[in-house]
């Protein structure tokens, strides 16, 4: 019944005098969330800490290391990709909230900060990487290589990784929501499925969420450059590289692979879950392209041309800054930005711009101001025609077919407020409308 | 690795005796420039990294015991930190020396750690390997010094 009322409401307003086609082409907005791999940790010239103070940080000014590409700041992958596709895909703005050290629990805070700072509630594109800090991956690496400030501390501990493969996989399973949280093994109180759901609430119908994975930190030992023994320069295998021991590399690489696989699984589930609302989730595996790709070469630590820092220190004792270690350098961020740009072109070009049809189905002055219609690949006049036909034939039910469109209706209950989402498609074109 | 190294060294020695090594009289410009830069690095920024090499050489020249390892660690702690050394090594202009110093540092750490903790060495990380790599570092530095002249 409520659906029918919606239809009546919509159709009573179909006599809009202006043609939607006359409207200027709408543009997309882009929100950048995530952790240090998204913020740009590892490059020089990031925004000064005082410019970015997440709401949850209280009085403490937190240095998010945001390489947002503005005002002389360096560019992490998102601003690099933005520059490459902004004109082509009509992306009008990028809101950059990623922050070094962030765990999944901080994503809602980043969204809140974005809403407050930019006065926007929903975006067309959301990109981020998150989860590595939940499973304490940086600590795992540090334990493997034994970063210490004195030689005494350095050699007084067992060499090599302290964590086992099973323990590492167990942490990843928690992150993916496959196992309960154990506080000593996991940072935070949220898992990826919960966070992806939260993100989806701030994506426009027809929008895209792109989740980036993590690169392999260190090169496969089979690919390590050989060591030359002089004076005749015999080539021999190495026992260690940087501070990494050969025997630890399989664990670290398998851990990164498992982490990426599990993130991909959760992304796939989120895509299925939110597809009806017109929101697509994609996973971008950067461990292969660009970091270990035949066309661009191999670029982990211990390659001839690393795009990741090994141990890297800024500052002087006692204010040493280690966080750049094991993060991409500018070449790594640039290459990742290019991969992301290619991905966005492939995904968004096919859909074309999601267009709001403001004069179809409702007017801003109506009582149904929460009613939204957007169209991907369907001209607004066709949307209008389809809705007229719908009224004459069926009204709206859970699923209906009219004017060549197959429509499905789903309901989402958010804190007692029912949102009905209508998604109608014909060939590969579709449009979405929903109301609360 | 020890067996591999020994075999490789024997094979290379034979190869050296039966073939001509490249003339060092007139090194290519690029190689000379790199050698000059590397020697400058050793005498400047890289001094701490080379201090690890000197310490490793002293350690393996005598019997390796808990007390000699303790002394080596104490000496190093007076001159450098491990993280600074590792970061410094990444900046060595010559790739062969960079790889050898990395390896030497890793083996030094493994040998000292195993000795002071009373553990047997890993098959690939014993004092014999450390000696071979320390010799390699010494030879490489000499080679680069010659090249830089």
Mutate to test the interface with A, among B18, B66, B69, B102 (most CBs of A within 10 A): B102
ipTM beyond 0.95? no
* A116 contact B CB<8A: no
User: Which residues on adjacent β-strands are paired with residue A218?
Assistant: A301
Taking CB atoms and an 8 Å limit, are A310 and B86 in contact across chains?
yes
Query: How confident is the model over B48-59, as pLDDT tens digits?
Result: 888 889 999 999
Is 90 exceeded by the pLDDT of residue A232? Answer: no
Q: Helix or strand or coil: residue A252?
A: helix
Cis peptide before A231 (omega within 30 of 0): yes
Query: How confident is the model over A398-427, as pLDDT tens digits?
Result: 777 777 888 877 766 666 666 667 777 776
B12, B80, B129: residue with CB nearest A234: B12
Q: How far is A149 from chain B (nearest CA, A)?
A: 6
Is 50 exceeded by the pLDDT of residue B15? Answer: no
Q: For residue B21, what is the nearest residue in chain A, using CA coordinates?
A: A232
Query: How confident is the model over B65-122, as pLDDT tens digits?
Result: 999 999 999 999 998 888 788 888 888 999 899 989 989 988 998 899 889 888 888 8
Which of chain A's residues have a Cβ under 8 Å away from the Cβ of B80? 151
Which of chain B's residues have a Cβ under 8 Å away from the Cβ of A238? 99, 102-103
Mutate to test the interface with A, among B35, B54, B106 (most CBs of A within 10 A): B106
The pTM assigned to this predicted structure is: 0.76
Evaluate whether A137 touches A259 at the Cβ level (below 8 Å): yes
Give the domain ranges of chain A. Answer: 5-25+353-434, 28-351
Query: How confident is the model over A326-347, as pLDDT tens digits?
Result: 999 999 999 999 999 999 988 8
A147, A230, A232: residue with CB nearest B15: A232
Query: How confident is the model over A250-264, as pLDDT tens digits?
Result: 999 999 999 999 999
* Phi, psi (deg, nearest 5) at residue A76: -80, -170
Q: For residue B124, what is the nearest residue in chain A, using CA coordinates?
A: A239
B73, B80, B106: residue with CB nearest A240: B106
Taking CB atoms and an 8 Å limit, are A232 and B132 in contact across chains?
no
Which of chain B's residues have a Cβ under 8 Å away from the Cβ of A151? 73, 76-77, 80-82
Q: Which residues contact A394 (CB under 8 A, 6 or more apart)?
A: A400, A402
Q: For residue B75, what is the nearest residue in chain A, using CA coordinates?
A: A151
CATH architecture entry for A28-351: 3-Layer(aba) Sandwich (3.40)
Buried b (16+ CB within 10 A) or exposed e, B31-62: eeebbbebbebbeeebeebbbbbbbbbebbee
Of all residues in chain B, what percent carry a pLDDT higher than 90? Answer: 42
Between residues A225 and B16, the one the model is more confident about: A225
Q: Which residues contact A324 (CB under 8 A, 6 or more apart)?
A: A41, A42, A309, A312, A313, A314
For residue A81, give Cα distances in angstroms to A274, A292, A349, B77.
25, 19, 15, 45
């Amino acid at each position: 019944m409520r659906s029918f009322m919606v239809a009546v409401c919509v159709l009573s307003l179909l006599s809009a005098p202006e043609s939607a086609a006359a409207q200027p082409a709408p543009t997309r907005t882009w929100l950048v969330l995530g952790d240090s791999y998204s913020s740009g940790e590892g490059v020089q010239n990031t925004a000064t800490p005082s410019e970015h103070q997440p709401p949850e940080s209280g009085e403490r000014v937190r240095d998010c290391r945001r390489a947002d590409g503005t005002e002389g700041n360096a560019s992490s992958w998102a601003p690099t990709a933005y520059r490459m596709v902004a004109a082509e895909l009509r992306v009008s703005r990028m809101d950059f909230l990623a922050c070094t050290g962030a765990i999944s629990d901080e994503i809602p805070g980043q969204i809140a900060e974005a809403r407050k700072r930019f006065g926007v509630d929903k975006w067309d594109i959301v990109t981020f990487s998150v989860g590595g800090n939940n499973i304490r991956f940086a600590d795992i690496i540090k334990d493997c290589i034994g970063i210490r400030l004195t030689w005494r501390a350095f050699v007084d501990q067992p060499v090599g990784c302290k964590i086992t493969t099973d323990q590492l996989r167990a942490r990843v399973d928690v992150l993916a929501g496959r196992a309960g949280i154990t506080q000593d093994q996991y940072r935070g109180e949220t898992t990826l499925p919960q966070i992806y759901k939260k993100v989806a609430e701030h994506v426009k119908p027809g929008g895209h969420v792109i989740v980036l994975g993590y690169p392999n930190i260190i090169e496969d030992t089979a690919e390590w450059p050989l060591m030359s023994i002089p004076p005749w320069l015999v080539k021999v295998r190495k026992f260690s590289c940087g501070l990494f021991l050969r025997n630890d590399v399989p664990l670290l690489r398998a851990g990164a692979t498992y982490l990426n696989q599990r993130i991909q699984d959760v992304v796939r589930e989120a895509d299925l879950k939110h597809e009806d609302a017109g929101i697509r989730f994609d996973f971008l595996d950067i461990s292969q392209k660009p970091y270990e790709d035949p066309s661009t070469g191999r670029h982990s630590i211990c390659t001839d041309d690393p795009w990741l820092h090994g141990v890297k220190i800024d500052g002087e004792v006692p204010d040493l800054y280690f966080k750049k270690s094991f993060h991409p350098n500018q070449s790594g961020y640039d290459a990742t930005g290019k991969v992301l740009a290619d991905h966005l072109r492939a995904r968004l070009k096919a859909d074309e711009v999601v267009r709001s049809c403001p004069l179809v189905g409702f007017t801003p002055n109506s009582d149904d101001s929460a009613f939204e219609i957007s169209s991907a690949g369907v001209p607004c006049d066709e949307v209008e025609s389809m809705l007229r036909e719908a009224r004459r034939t069926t009204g709206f039910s859970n699923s209906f077919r009219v004017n060549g469109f197959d429509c499905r209706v789903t309901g989402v209950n958010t804190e007692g407020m029912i949102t009905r989402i209508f998604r109608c498609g014909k060939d590969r074109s579709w449009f979405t409308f929903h109301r609360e | 690795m020890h067996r591999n190294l020994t075999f490789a060294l024997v094979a290379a020695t034979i190869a050296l005796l039966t073939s001509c090594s490249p003339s060092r009289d007139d090194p290519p410009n690029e190689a000379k420039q790199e050698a000059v830069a590397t020697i400058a690095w050793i005498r400047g920024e890289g001094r701490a990294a080379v201090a690890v090499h000197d310490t490793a050489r002293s350690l393996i020249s005598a019997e390796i015991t808990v007390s000699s390892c303790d002394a080596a660690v104490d000496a190093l702690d007076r001159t450098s930190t491990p993280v600074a050394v590792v970061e410094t090594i990444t900046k060595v202009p010559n790739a062969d020396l960079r790889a050898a110093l990395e390896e030497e540092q890793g083996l030094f750490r493994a040998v000292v750690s195993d000795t002071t903790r009373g553990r047997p060495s890993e098959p690939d990380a014993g004092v014999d390997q450390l000696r071979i790599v320390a010799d390699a570092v010494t030879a490489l530095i000499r080679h680069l010094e010659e090249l830089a002249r």
